[in-house]
Amino acid sequence: MDRIALITGANKGIGFETARQLGGAGATVLVGARDEDRGKRARAALEGEGIDARFVRLDVTDEASVQAAAKWVDAEFGKLDVLVNNAGIAVRDGGYLPSQTTMTALRRTFETNVFGIVTVTNATLRLLRAAPAARIVNVSSGVGSLTWMNVTQGPMRDMVSVPYPASKSAVNMVTVMYAKELRDTPIKVNAANPGYCATDLNENSGFRTAAQGAEVVVRLATLPADGPTGRLWGDLWPEAEGEGELPW
């Protein structure tokens, strides 16, 4: 059986491009999306390119939805080779400064960006263990790096918002903990930094394309047996050019 890859938030942006690239490489891609119409349109677009794509309704903030999706994957395929925890939000509520952060913004951001990853990973872990050598990729960000954010010069200097960066730092820790739990298995767990990509998340202000960001994710999703686990890897801007391992 071909590789089966589930991507959350796959109806647009980096998630859609990840599905496109994995599908183009021969994987059966499961387009996870909470909106059925958008998910089905994404599936149709992928099928139009000759990709084996299936839509699965999946709201990472709804445990019943997640469990139903995992049950469907089990019934259809009995395994999962790749899980890409891509679904994420940036809530713009209240002020930008830490002292202006609202609890509503903080809770909503963590519910999707962090709790959603744990919910989906736990629901599908049995299926990932059933695959020969599964890969879990948690889509993080360079702004989740404490080292990068604790600077006095450069483009990160004036970024002081709490919800989104803090959620991505939490994603990094979640990644490390799953990698430790699964270190004696063939499963590899890594966090990806796609870089500053033009997506709806940032009102398309990024200078990298969603396709470029997805390349980072796909590399981690297709690591060989001797590849790393428990790492934050991806675009190195603004510290350097190219891709590599980022500091926590």
**Could you write out the DSSP letters of every residue in 123-142?**
HHHHHHHHSSS-EEEEE--G
Local confidence band at 197 (pLDDT 50, 70, 90 cut-offs): confident
Amino acid 96: pLDDT: 85
Name the DSSP class of 236. -
Indicate which residue of 79, 168, 178, 196 is catalytic: 168
Active-site annotation holds for 196: no
CATH fold, domain 4-245, is Rossmann fold (3.40.50)
Local confidence band at 195 (pLDDT 50, 70, 90 cut-offs): confident
Active-site annotation holds for 40: no
pLDDT at 152 over 60: yes
Do residues 146 and 197 make contact, with C-beta atoms less than 8 angstroms apart?
A: no
13-41 per-position pLDDT tens digit? 999 999 999 999 999 999 999 999 999 99
Q: Where are the domains of the chain?
A: 4-245
72-130 per-position pLDDT tens digit? 999 999 999 999 999 999 998 877 899 999 999 999 999 999 999 999 999 999 999 99
DSSP strands (E only) in 80-130: 82-85
213-243 per-position pLDDT tens digit? 999 999 999 999 999 999 999 999 999 999 9
Buried b (16+ CB within 10 A) or exposed e, 47-56: eeeebebbbb
Indicate which residue of 79, 164, 178, 196 is catalytic: 164
Distance in angstroms (rounded) separating the CA atoms of residues 115 and 174: 10
Distance in angstroms (rounded) separating the CA atoms of residues 142 and 194: 8
Amino acid 136: pLDDT: 99
- The reported pTM is 0.96
